[in-house]
Amino acid sequence: MDYFKSKVLSQTETAKGIYLLRLQVPEQQIKPGQFYMLKSWEDDFLPLMRPISVYRYGNGILEFLYRMVGKGTLLFSRLESGDEVDLLGALGNGFPCTEVKGKIALVGGGIGIPPLYETAKTLRSLGNIVDVYLGYKDDLFLVDEFADTCDDLFIACENGYEGYKGYITDIVNHEKYDAIFTCGPEVMMFNLLKNSTLEPSQLWLSMEKRMACGIGACLTCNCETTHGMKRCCSEGPVFRGSEFTMN
Amino acid sequence: MKININGITFKNPIIAASGTFGFGKEYHQLYDVGILGGISSKGLTINPKEGNAGIRVYETASGVMNSVGLQNPGVEKFIAEELPWMKQTGSVVIANLGGGCLEDYIAGIELLNETEVDMIELNISCPNVKSGGMAFGIKADVAYEAVKAVREKCRKPLMVKLSPNAENIIEMGQACEKAGADSLSLVNTFKGLAIDIKQRKPIFNNLYAGLSGAAIKPIALRMVHEVCKNVRIPVIGLGGIYTTEDVIGFIMAGATAVQIGTANFTNPLICKQIIEELPGFMEEIGIENWEEIRGVIQ
């Protein structure tokens, strides 16, 4: 983990309100599913850095795919090549790619999709069969990229624009898999967990909470688990399904 | 660079503020926290606390609202598991102690008396714990009784952390001084409210939450100035400090040292950067020690 400056290489709007930010960074050690805290403003302008999961990393280029939802991401969306971005990371535990084996499903929803990209690549490189399920509200993104990194790709779109019309959780055939990794809206992930035929300990959920420090000091990103309050930033963001009670 | 508070030497006037810095270990991954003047621990209570459910942090214009609710491992676990590490950093270790009732404070003090903690910061000002903490920090006569009772048991230097929500901050400072406080720190967070208008509900389960950050700095600075003019004991200033200029401003208002809290979130190296900048600043404004500018604002 380090706090350092990076340079914007490029930025593009890849779907409506979804931006791809490419940064030039020193060599990083990153596990799939980890995140960084980002800021592109003076210290006292916006008081909190923004946690964003890594989409892709390689050859000193770190890529984030984020949705513009508020003031911080609005400022990110205005970044141009050559601008500076402060980074703190890599943070969090990431997905436990070496703890699973066999046939793995990755289930992503909305802006929870990007962190599954490196996860898919890593799981496959370890010899697993990897099926990817991507759920969208309307605009699609990263479909071609995922098509190249998984065995089978399934798409669901709430407005029926492409693939299955409805929720992605409707079309996951749990029985086919040895483990499931998921990242997306809490309601989607808990739905998946509740309806799974797998042991809850074989599902891993990547949680998202409001954060301040990002490193485990401030205790604001609390995740209520069966083992008490945990810090999403440093003890997560990835938790086993068995750490949540379903009621 | 050195300062002295209640007989304790701090390497410099920069102290990491309670609640934003844990026990220092997380930030130590980024820099040697032993360079800090002091570290004020995460707010402790006699029994462990799980803290508040629901959203705990929310950004506002130039500010941060929080409602952590004093989540902490309890005084005993702090002493066994966190204190030895904090002590070996070389920074002054301040144990921030909160409580719901007087008995809790006394029980905490009695345990901390027997340790190597350098100083106690008595938190009579947490806005995020119902039926406790801040109740002591609103009325000067209530604070007086609480501080007096703690003082009788406390064998460590006793700093009392004041709430800006006190009815009268000057009377509050004077009451704590009279009750035997060795020093004061101010201000804690301002009680605020954030509303989710779509859901017609407050953002925080606890309704109100504490506001910190740059938004409160001018008010914090005014309160530090007012209290410094009306007490004789050292005052540690905090509230929205982000820059070396801010630190100098608080010292000119009368503060002996400062605490930095929310700014750690926007720049995790901010304390280190300010400590590195201070000697150059002292030279630039032509001073050799802090006494030359302390309290120059009349």
Torsion angle in degrees (nearest 10) through CA of B113, B116, B118, B120: -40
Residues of chain B found within 8 Å of residue A218, distances taken between Cβ atoms = 19-20, 22, 57, 66, 68, 265
Q: pLDDT at residue A247 above 80?
A: no
Reply yes or no on whether B126 is catalytic: yes
Cα(B91)–Cα(B24) distance, integer angstroms: 10
Q: Model-level pTM?
A: 0.95
pLDDT in tens, A26-58: 999 999 999 999 999 988 789 999 999 999 999
Counting other chains too, the contacts that A11-14 makes at CB distance below 8 Å and 24 or more residues apart are: A11/A77, A11/A79, A11/A80, A11/A81, A13/A77, A14/A65, A14/A141, A14/A142
Cβ of B27 within 8 Å of Cβ of A44? The answer is: no
**CA of B222 vs chain A CAs: smallest distance (Å):** 19
* Cβ–Cβ < 8 Å for B247, B271: no
* Cα–Cα distance list, A46 to A30, A75, A161, A224, B266 (Å): 27, 10, 37, 28, 8
Q: How would you label A197-233 residue by residue, b for 16+ Cβ within 10 Å and e otherwise? A: ebebebbbbbbbbbbbbbbbbbbbbbbebeeebbbbb
Q: Give residue A98's identity as a one-letter amino acid code.
A: T
Element holding B226 (H helix, E strand) = helix B217-228
* Chain mean pLDDT for chain B: 95
Residues A146-155 have pLDDT tens digits of 999 999 999 9
The maximal CA–CA distance of chain A, rounded, in angstroms, is: 51
Those residues whose C-beta lies under 8 Å from the C-beta of residue A163, and which sit 6 or more positions away, are A154, A155, A156, A157
Average pLDDT over residues A75-95: 97
Burial, B17: exposed, middle or buried (Cβ in 10 Å; 0-12, 13-18, 19+)?
A: buried
Place of tokens 């400072």: B173
> Using one digit for the tens of pLDDT, what is the confidence trace for A50-70?
999 999 999 999 999 999 999
Phi and psi at A88, nearest 5°, equal -125, 115
Nearest to B26 by CA among A234, A19, A199: A234
A210, A231 in Cβ contact below 8 A? no
Residue B7, helix vs strand vs coil: coil
Do B59 and A218 lie within an 8 Å CB cutoff? no
CB-CB under 8 Å, B243 with A48 = no
Write out pLDDT tens, residues B149-163: 999 999 999 999 999
Distance spanning both ends of chain B, measured CA to CA: 23
Peptide bond into B187 cis (omega under 30): yes
Top-confidence residue, B239 or B126: B239
> Chain B residues with CB-CB distance to A under 8 A?
19-22, 26-27, 29-30, 42, 50-51, 53, 55-59, 62-64, 66, 68, 71, 213-214, 240, 242-243, 262-270
Residue-wise pLDDT tens digits, B186-200: 999 999 999 999 999
Contacts of A79 (CB under 8 A, 6+ apart): A8, A11, A21, A40, A85
Report the SS3 class of residue B208: strand
For A88-100, how does the pLDDT look when each residue is reduced to its tens digit (9 = 90+)? 999 999 999 999 9
Residues above pLDDT 70, as percent of chain B:
97
Give residue B101's pLDDT: 86
Which tokens go with A33?
């599913």
Q: Which residues of B touch A39 (CB under 8 A)?
A: 266
Q: Taking residues B245-251, what's their average pLDDT? A: 97
Nearest of A217, A148, A142 to residue A183 by alpha carbon: A142
Nearest to B159 by CA among B40, B270, B277, B265: B40
**Long-range Cβ contact pairs of A117-121 (< 8 A, separation 24 or more):** A117/A55, A117/A56, A117/A142, A117/A145, A117/A146, A117/A149, A118/A30, A118/A32, A118/A33, A118/A54, A118/A55, A118/A56, A118/A57, A119/A32, A119/A33, A119/A95, A119/A181, A120/A146, A120/A149, A120/A150, A121/A32, A121/A149
Pairs of CB atoms within 8 A across A/B? 103
Q: Check pLDDT > 60 for residue A104.
A: yes
Task: Give chain A's end-to-end CA distance (angstroms, integer).
Answer: 36
Residue with tokens 């201000």: B187
Q: Which residue ranges form the domains of chain A, and what is each CATH number?
A: 2-91 (2.40.30.10), 97-243 (3.40.50.80)
* pLDDT 10s digits, B173-188: 999 999 999 999 999 9
Q: Could you give the CA distance from residue B88 to residue B70 in angstroms, rounded to a whole number?
A: 25
Identity of the residue in A210, A213, A229 whose CB atom sits nearest the CB atom of B71: A229
Tokens of A212: 């301040």
List, for residues B50-94, the tens digit of each pLDDT value.
999 999 999 999 999 999 999 999 999 999 999 999 999 999 999
Q: How confident is residue B134, by pLDDT bands cut at 50, 70 and 90?
A: low
Domain boundaries, chain B: 3-292
CA A22 to chain CA centroid, Å, is 16
Distance of CA B115 to the CA centre of its chain: 20
ipTM above 0.90, yes or no: yes
Distance from CA of A212 to the nearest CA of B (A): 6
Integer Cα distance of B218 and B24 in angstroms:
28
Fold (topology level) of B3-292: TIM Barrel (3.20.20)
pLDDT, position A113: 98
Q: How far is B102 from chain A (nearest CA, A)?
A: 26
The pair of three-digit structure tokens given for residue B14, joined into one six-digit string: 């920069």
> Residues of chain B with pLDDT > 90: what percent?
94
